[in-house]
Amino acid sequence: MGNVVVVGSQWGDEGKGKIVDWLSERADVVVRFQGGHNAGHTLVVDGKVYKLSLMPSGVVRGGKVSVIGNGVVIDPWALLSEMDKLRGQGVDITPDSLQIAANATLIMPYHRELDALREDATKGVKIGTTRRGIGPAYEDKVGRRAIRVCDLQSRDTIEARLEVALTHHNAVRRGLDQPEVDGKEIADQLMELAPQILPYMHNVWRTLDDAQKSGKKILFEGAQGSLLDVDHGTYPFVTSSNTIAGQAAGGSGMGPRALDYVLGITKAYTTRVGSGPFPTEQENEVGQYLGEKGHEFGVVTGRKRRCGWFDAVLVRQSLTIGGVDGIALTKLDVLDGLDELKVCVGYKHKGEIVDYLPYGMEDQAAIEPVYETLEGWQDSTFGARSWADLPATAIKYIRRIEELIGVPVALLSTSPERDDTILVRDPFQD
């Protein structure tokens, strides 16, 4: 039995929530290791819909330990709100079922305000931040002026940390013609919520080490997608954290040897929210068809997603960088009814054909996709639970994707329902 890391292999929104929920039934511990409440997962369990942002997907299942790791930035107000909402849906959340890393960074109100102020002040193309303070919180973490979960134990500590943080933030706010932040007011707010957060605080590295030594199965749940990685994504149109599988170790406190199998969640076509390069985007009836049939709207923001054909070049690149062992191919059913399908197999760049996405913004803007056309299918794949239920042309499409990306399909998802999943290889047993 091994531990499994789940990451998105595109720009997020690949359907990770369902797959993580499907795997969490087989896991003992489920860990979030990066990001914040800027990413959303939708779970459908026994007909009930749960929308999660910060909470690990395992929290909706009894008998699991859910962990929010040190690599996550936590808005404590958003966390408590999400917990209340889940409790209202009948989910039991206790310090036995949820653990929060003592060294995780907190998102402050001034982070949210700065996020919005800078986005509004930016001229030209905007990054498309969710304005939830994620980036500024990570900046404070790297700048060594963050307030962490463990700081909630002492008002003196909070006030000392706020003095350091606000020396920076108030200078920035003055430059933006904004009023300074009142540190006492923030300290009062933090002390008010501290009793609600501290019971969940743990040295989660020890929890995970104990679980590993006792032979328990650990599921590491990534947010966003590999192409939004701050180092390896389409910079600067990326998130503020590392989203690739390697971050599961650093963002949880486990060593990399504990990461036994990496599963890349991969949509059967491509979507993206917000600004940034998108070589296979279809701003036509095809893109509209995919968006409408796939219900392509962001879980957290509600923003309409841009849609396009499957990009094998980008997926192969992200799978290679992420060390992915197998993919879970999702939303195949959205392609039902199309006469033909296109897959990007290369790019035209400065008169040459290349098989990778260059890092430079101008280079990325200049590339043109090279397509291979495949036959579509008219029969429905919705709800299929075995290969025998799939049209032959759909299977041919899947096999061609495997060839192009160099990684096999481990799971195939054919609807939002968790049981509508075809298991090829069990990541926990591989």
Calpha distance 91→71 (Å, rounded): 25
Catalogue the active-site residues: 13, 41
